[in-house]
Amino acid sequence: MAEVRVFLADDHAIVRGGLKALIDAQPGMVVIGEAADGLETCAQVARLQPDVVVMDVSMPGLTGSLATERLRRECPTVKVLALTVHEDKGYIRQLLTAGASGYALKRAAPEELIRAIQVVAAGGVYLDPTVAVKVVGGFVKPPPKGAAKTGELSEREAAVARLTAAGHGNKEIASQLDLSVKTVETYRARSLEKLGLKSRSELVRYAFQQGWFQDG
CATH number, position 154? 1.10.10.10
Beta partners for 34? 8
With pLDDT > 70 as the criterion, what percentage of the chain qualifies?
Answer: 82
Residue 196 sits in the same domain as residue 99: no
Among residues 132, 158, 175, which one ends one of the domains?
132
Task: Say how far apart CA 192 and CA 213 lie, in whole Å.
Answer: 18
Give the residue with greater pLDDT, 174 vs 131.
174
- In sequence order, the β-bridge partners of residue 126 are 102
Distance from C-alpha of 196 to C-alpha of 154, rounded to nearest angstrom: 15
Q: Is the pLDDT of residue 201 over 80?
A: no
Q: Do residues 120 and 156 both lie within one domain?
A: no
The boundaries of the domain holding residue 113 are: 4-132
In a domain, 215, yes or no: no
User: For residue 79, what pLDDT is reported?
Assistant: 93
| 162 and 85 share one domain | no
Binned at pLDDT 50, 70 and 90, residue 143 comes out as very low
**115: Cβ contacts below 8 Å, ≥ 6 apart:** 126
CB-count exposure of residue 36 (10 Å: 0-12, 13-18, 19+): middle
Amino acid at 205: R
Domain boundary residue among 103, 132, 161?
132
Domain boundary among 132, 161, 191: 132
Reduce the DSSP state of residue 67 to 3 states and report it: helix
CA angle 51, 120, 26 (to 5 degrees): 70
Which one is predicted more confidently, 210 or 103? 103
Q: How many residues does the chain have?
A: 216
pLDDT at site 214? 46
Provide the pairing of β-strand 52-56 with 29-35: unpaired
User: Under 8 Å CB-to-CB from 12, ≥6 apart: which residues?
Assistant: 36, 56
Q: Which pLDDT does position 147 carry in this prediction?
A: 46
Q: What is the DSSP letter of 129?
A: H
Indicate whether 214 belongs to any domain.
Answer: no
More confident residue, 87 or 171: 171
Name the packing angle between helices 38-48 and 64-74 (round to 10°).
30
Residue 143 located in a structural domain: no
